[in-house]
Amino acid sequence: MESILILTYADETGSALTKASLEAVTAGMELAGRLGASLTIGIVAVDPAAAAVALASTGARLLAVCGEAFSQARYATDAAACEALCRAAGASIVLAPGSARFTRVAASVAYRVGGFIDTHITSLKVTGTSGVESVEAGRWFYRQRVEAVLARDARPWFMLLDAGTHAPFAGESGTASVEEIRLQLPVLRTTVTGLRAPEHGAQTIRPDAKLLLVAGAGWTKKQSDGQMHASEAGELILGFLRIADASLGSSKSLVDQGGDGQPVLPFLTHLNQVGQTGSTPRHLKGLSTCCHGEEPHVVGWRFIAERRAISLDPNCGWTRGKADVVYIADAFAVMAKLNALLERAKAEEGRTLMASDAEASLAVVCP
Ligand SMILES: Cc1cc2nc3c(=O)[nH]c(=O)nc-3n(C[C@H](O)[C@H](O)[C@H](O)COP(=O)(O)OP(=O)(O)OC[C@H]3O[C@@H](n4cnc5c(N)ncnc54)[C@H](O)[C@@H]3O)c2cc1C
């Protein structure tokens, strides 16, 4: 009989669980339900009280490692906390969010407790008949081109779950008791003095955004007047990101520019690149602009549920079945009008705009 432990941790408030942790809770509950397995949730937090309230309706056994030492990500304390939770739970399957914080420690925790680990898990399935069930985990290889199904006899089996593959758990609040696991802190050689992050306005990669805007190399190419309009392109792109709170992706051609004196968009880095040699983000919707939609780029759109593109070329890759809607139009004109419509809608209604507003405005601009 399997038993499941879900490892979770609190966000910067020190008490509320991160979204990725809540996604792992959903995955673990579904798996436990299908296996009829016992469920334990391990919490790493300064104070686990708020997490316990949020998790009360799971009915799971709650274990916590808590205290100021666990307020921030640090290899030694996080590894020690997760190890203590694993030993206390003694589970055969351990699920954890594949976030930067837990990805850093999970392999060593698995090693310490004699387990095996798989990463980038996107789905969990149970096969077989009652009493002889088998767990199968899905993940993608070769830049999301090949989907594999993994099964293991070895236990404990650790699995790091990719973000965005499960809905975050949101149950009724309630009261639940938490068993505190005390541990001897390891020798701490790292002192976390604070967090340095780009200012909100400067951050263009927003994994939690509903909408992904992709910029392609067309933005810095000569336009119909024979001129390049890179600074106007930058203003239109940043304007849209600001108003729609979208995340920014790019084609490889655009982020590679600059080496031979071509105009560049200064806010783009290789971290923005989407595709075979870039990232594979997960957003509900995506809008591609000035991008040709070639396969090495579009393979990075695998998990974008709804795709739209604006391109001048009626023969671009997007029109060949890679987008749901393609606007054969000048992206400079479309985005200028789209931004104006969104600005107006925002001013009139005084609310934060969503992906659906961008879509509605886009339909007005390009009927
Ligand atoms: C091994 C390998 C790995 C690769 N990995 C990646 C990867 O990870 N990600 C990636 O993106 N690429 C990758 N590539 C490159 C990829 O094949 C393409 O070369 C690249 O995606 C092209 O970028 P683009 O569409 O922005 O530029 P272009 O091909 O130059 O297309 C620009 C488009 O903009 C349009 N346009 C111009 N002006 C306007 C306007 N005013 N309005 C609307 N449209 C306009 C043009 O019609 C054109 O279709 C890889 C290639 C290889 C060989």
Structural domains for the chain: 3-180 (3.40.50.620), 200-365 (3.40.50.1220)
Q: What is the pTM of this model?
A: 0.76
Give the C-alpha separation, 357 to 352, whole Å.
10
User: Which among 303, 301, 245 has a CA at the least distance from the CA of 278?
Assistant: 301
Q: Is 343 exposed, middle or buried (CB count within 10 Å of its CB: 0-12, 13-18, 19+)?
A: middle
The verdict on the CB of residue 339 being under 6 Å from ligand 1 is no
Residue nearest to atom 53 of ligand 1 (CA): 296
pLDDT of residue 217: 96
Q: Which of 142, 212, 214, 253 to mutate to test the pocket of ligand 1 (most atoms within 8 A of CB)?
A: 253
pLDDT of residue 158: 98
Q: How many CB atoms within 10 Å of residue 165?
A: 20
Give the C-alpha separation, 10 to 16, whole Å.
5
Tokens of 217: 């190399």
Q: Is 40 exposed, middle or buried (CB count within 10 Å of its CB: 0-12, 13-18, 19+)?
A: buried
The verdict on the CB of residue 310 being under 6 Å from ligand 1 is yes
The verdict on the CB of residue 322 being under 6 Å from ligand 1 is no
Position in ligand 1 atom list of the atom nearest CA 224: 41
Residue nearest to atom 26 of ligand 1 (CA): 216
Could you list the mean pLDDT of each consecutive 10-residue stretch along the chain, which spans 367 residues? 97 93 98 97 97 98 97 95 98 97 98 98 93 93 85 97 93 96 93 73 82 97 94 96 94 84 82 93 94 96 94 96 94 94 81 62 65
Tokens of 24: 């792992």
| Ligand 1 geometric centre to CA of 226 (Å) | 20
Alpha-helical segments (H) within 166-298: 230-244, 252-256, 295-298
